[in-house]
C-alpha cells in the first residue's frame, strides 16, 4: 500500500513509517550512517536510532570512534533507513552536532548495565590484540562497579543529532515506477517535491 504523504513537512510521515516498520521489521531502528573525512573520503556503517523529532535524528557512540572523529572534522552526514518488508526507504542529509550532556546521561542510564560497562571496556575502533583482552577488561570493570548502584557515563561516550536539511521518502512500485517525495529545508519551512524514480 502506497502512502501519498499529504503533509507539507517530513516528521509526521517519518513517524508513521517508523511505526509501521516497528510492526514488521526485526530492527526497524537500524540506519546506515555515512560520514566523510575533512578531505571528503567517505565511510559508512549501521547505527541505531535513539531519538527522532523536529530537531533531528539521534545516535550514540564513543567519541574516539572513526565515525565521531570524522563528524568532528566534517559535520555533514547522511542517514538511510531501508525497511524491506514495507518496500520503503528514507534518506536523510544534514549536519551533526553533539547532544547535551543531560540527554547523553539519560540515555546511558537507560541502557542495560552490561552495555554501560561495555562502553568503558571498549576502545572503539582501536586495534585489539585479541578477544581475551576485551573480555578481561569487561570482567575487571564489572567487578569495579559491582558495589555501585549506577555506572557513570564515560566522558568520551555521548551522542550526535543529525539536523536534517533534506529528507527523501522512497516507496517501491511495480515496473520500477517507484514513488519519491523529497522535503528540502528552507529556513523554518520545508519545500516538498516529487521526483522521477
- Whether residue 73 lies inside any domain: the answer is yes
Instruction: Find the mean pLDDT for residues 86-108.
Output: 98
What angle do the packed helices 113-121 and 131-144 form, to 10 degrees? 120
Round to whole Å and give the CA distance between 129 and 156: 22
pLDDT tens track for 100-111: 999 999 999 999
Instruction: Find the mean pLDDT for residues 126-147.
Output: 94
Query: Which pLDDT score is estimated for 183?
Result: 98
Is residue 1 scored above 90 in pLDDT?
A: no
Query: Which pLDDT score is estimated for 14?
Result: 98
- Whether residue 3 lies inside any domain: the answer is no
Domain extent, residue 63, equals 11-108+155-195
- Whether residue 34 lies inside any domain: the answer is yes
Question: What is this structure's pTM?
Answer: 0.94
Q: Is 196 exposed, middle or buried (0-12, 13-18, 19+ CB in 10 A)?
A: exposed
DSSP symbol at 85: G
Question: Can you give the CATH number for the domain in which 68 is found?
Answer: 2.30.110.10
Instruction: Find the mean pLDDT for residues 110-134.
Output: 94
Is residue 7 scored above 80 in pLDDT?
A: yes
Catalytic-residue membership of 113? no
- Whether residue 113 lies inside any domain: the answer is no
Query: Which pLDDT score is estimated for 2?
Result: 84
DSSP symbol at 73: H
20, 90 Cβ separation under 8 angstroms: no
User: Minimal CA–CA distance to 57: which of 83, 93, 21?
Assistant: 93
How many domains is the chain built from? 1
Residue among 66, 176, 185, 194 flagged as catalytic: 176
Amino acid at each position: 500500500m502506497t502512502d501519498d504523504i499529504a503533509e507539507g513537512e517530513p516528521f509526521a510521515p517519518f513517524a508513521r513509517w517508523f511505526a509501521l516498520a516497528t510492526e514488521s521489521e526485526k530492527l526497524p531502528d537500524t540506519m546506515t550512517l555515512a560520514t566523510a573525512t575533512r578531505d571528503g573520503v567517505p565511510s559508512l556503517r549501521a547505527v541505531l536510532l535513539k531519538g527522532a523529532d523536529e530537531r533531528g535524528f539521534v545516535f550514540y557512540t564513543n567519541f574516539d570512534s572513526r565515525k565521531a572523529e570524522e563528524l568532528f572534522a566534517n559535520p555533514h552526514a547522511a542517514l538511510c533507513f531501508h525497511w524491506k518488508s514495507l518496500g520503503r526507504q528514507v534518506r536523510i542529509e544534514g549536519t551533526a552536532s553533539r547532544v547535551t550532556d543531560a540527554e547523553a546521561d539519560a540515555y546511558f542510564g537507560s541502557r542495560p548495565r552490561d552495555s554501560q560497562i561495555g562502553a568503558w571496556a571498549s576502545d572503539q575502533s582501536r586495534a585489539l590484540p585479541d578477544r581475551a583482552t576485551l573480555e578481561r577488561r569487561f570482567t575487571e570493570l564489572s567487578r569495579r562497579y559491582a558495589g555501585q548502584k549506577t555506572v557513570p557515563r564515560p566522558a568520551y561516550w555521548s551522542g550526535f543529532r543529525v539536523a536534517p536539511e533534506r529528507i527523501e521518502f522512497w516507496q517501491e512500485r511495480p515496473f520500477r515506477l517507484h514513488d519519491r517525495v523529497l522535503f528540502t529545508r528552507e529556513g523554518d519551512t520545508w519545500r516538498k517535491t516529487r521526483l522521477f524514480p
